[in-house]
Amino acid sequence: MADHSSTALRGALLVTQDDERKVFRGDVLLRDGTIEQVAPAIKGKADHELDAHRYLIAPGFVNTHTHIANALLKGTADDRGFFQFLETMFAVDAKRTEEDIEAGALLGAAEMLLGGTTGFLDMYYGEDAVARACERIGIRGFLGWVVLDPEITTQKGVPVENAAHFITRWKKHERVSPLVSLQGVYACKDDTWLKAKELAEREKVLLHYHLSETRGEVQENEKKRGKRPPEWLDSLGFLGRHQVAAHGVWLTTREIELLARKGVAVAHCPSSNMKLASGGGGICPVTELRAAGATVAMATDSSSSNNGLSMLREMHLAALAHKQQRHDPESLPAPVVLDMATRDAAKALGRERDLGQLAPGFKADLVLYDLSHPSLLPTRVENAVSNLVYSAQDDAVHTVYVQGEKVVEARRLLKLDWEKEAPNIERIASALLHPASLG
């Protein structure tokens, strides 16, 4: 639970990400899980006082596309084509248990918190185990139970019904926001897409799905249905607001305009797309999507296709990759990339009014970076944003708050005894990754 006392963080270098993108030396006052004040100097005493001159404070990152339980699977399907990669993942999926899903979620959540990520959008089955992991470690989870055609799923029961039950079980929890996910056009027929949308609209939750990740996916849909994926989904009456489409590597100009017009947000996953050689340089057309008015947010994808969950690393790579692809050093500048990992990510999730900024009334999800860390020395007002995007390393993260609760301090997880938990995760991973499980 959030700390209901007040906490004053004094004299920090603040990267607010507010509407004016203010960066200055000042104070932050937290109370009842929210940010009460952000100012050059806050008068009066709080219940807890911290001299924060040695820290840069910024909003926590929101990772807008993960399969967090696959943190156990890093290094198991490397250097393979997309569909060969999926074959390996589906073979392991068929053997997974609640225990190893929760272990994978704890592992992934630990990595994210220690890298400054305070919230994430997930797509998997067995999301009850992921939700329990979120509660145990203190991270904020937007958790989508994955839906696909009943005849091809490894889930027990009907996937869309499983998603409905999951939403019912978790919709009143403070840091867990349940939602509906879909695997993609290659695993979902018309009826599956429409039933998922009906469920999401009835429950007033987000929809999250893979879209136009590979050229093969697009070509197969054209061959099978006569349309490219976005146009086909639009012909079903599926596309609309409160949706986050992951990847969007293979989009035409008309599709970009369609997604923007329909209010579909896009999660950009450059590391994963480049590693799987998704094509087009592995690059989502972020500049064109933003110009059309679409919200584009940063994401890492899975540890099995990215091999890590570092949003600092992902921001760095995204900024460089777009410059290289477009032969333009001014493409995707640092402030835009930081927006994509904070305020735009919150907007993609429909939470732009309470996440992604250091501003009064926003949830106290924030990160303290050690300014004496070599990757951040020297940092000042003028280069703070650039240093976060281009220079900062995960171990510069010192302290993390989620909803006003301190969940990391001095790079130590506070709600979980990692020295005891890590051997248990290793034991579970060893059983899951036995050669017989990998096919």
User: 111 with 122, same domain?
Assistant: yes
Q: pLDDT value at position 274?
A: 81
Looking at the fold, whether 267 and 375 belong to one and the same domain comes out as no
Q: Is residue 190 part of a domain?
A: yes
The DSSP call for residue 363 is B
For the stretch 111-142, what's the b/e string if a residue is b when 16 or more beta carbons lie within 10 angstroms of its beta carbon? Answer: bbbbbbbbbbbbbbbbbbbbbbbbbebbbbbb
CA distance 231 to 95: 35
Confidence tier at 439 by pLDDT (50, 70, 90): very low
| Residue 425 included in any domain | no
216 in any annotated domain: yes
- Are 44 and 162 members of one domain? no
Backbone φ/ψ region at 212: left (φ over 0), alpha (ψ -120 to 50), beta: left
Residues 139 and 262 occupy one common structural domain: yes
Query: Which of 103-117, 131-145, 152-166, 377-391 shows the lowest mean pLDDT across its residues?
Result: 152-166
Given a cut of 90, whether residue 247 has pLDDT beyond it is yes
When pLDDT is averaged across residues 175-199 and rounded to a whole number, the result is 97
Pairing mode, strands 6-15 and 48-51:
parallel
- Same domain (yes/no): 384, 262: no
Task: Measure the CA–CA gap between 399 and 139, rounded to whole angstroms.
Answer: 13
Whether 49 and 81 share a structural domain: no
Task: Concatenate the DSSP letters of all residues of 233-248 into one string.
Answer: HHHTT---SSEEEEE-
Give the tokens for residue 130: 């992921």
Mean pLDDT (the chain) is 93
Q: What does the pLDDT read at residue 80?
A: 63
Are 268 and 385 part of one and the same domain? no
Instruction: Note the pTM of the prediction, 2 decimals.
Output: 0.94
> In which band, very low, low, confident or very high, does the pLDDT at 1 lie, cut at 50, 70 and 90?
very low
Q: What pLDDT score was predicted for residue 324? A: 87
Instruction: For residue 435, tell me if it sits in a domain.
Output: no
Residue 332 lies in a domain: yes
- Out of 348, 373, 397, a domain closes at 348
76 and 32 within one domain: no
Q: How many CB atoms lie within 10 A of CB 352?
A: 16
| Unique residue bearing structure tokens 């849909």 | 221
Q: Are 78 and 29 within one domain?
A: no
Same domain for 260 and 391, yes or no, is no
Asked, for residue 426, whether it belongs to a domain, the answer is no
Residues 323, 238 share a domain: yes
Q: Where in the sequence is the domain holding 43, given as residue range(s)?
A: 6-59+361-413
Q: What CATH number should be reported for the domain holding residue 400?
A: 2.30.40.10
Measured CA to CA, the distance from residue 91 to residue 44 in angstroms comes to 59
pLDDT band at 326 (very low <50, low <70, confident <90, very high): confident
Q: State pLDDT tens for residues 89-126.
A: 667 766 778 999 999 999 999 999 999 999 999 999 99
Q: In what order do the strands lie in the sheet with 243-247?
A: 61-66, 117-124, 140-147, 176-182, 207-211, 243-247, 265-268, 296-298
Residues 408 and 334 in one domain: no
**268 within domain boundaries:** yes
Whether the per-residue pLDDT at 281 is higher than 70: the answer is no
Where residue 140 sits, what CATH number does that domain have? 3.20.20.140
46-56 confidence digits (pLDDT tens): 999 999 999 99
* 429 lies in some domain: no
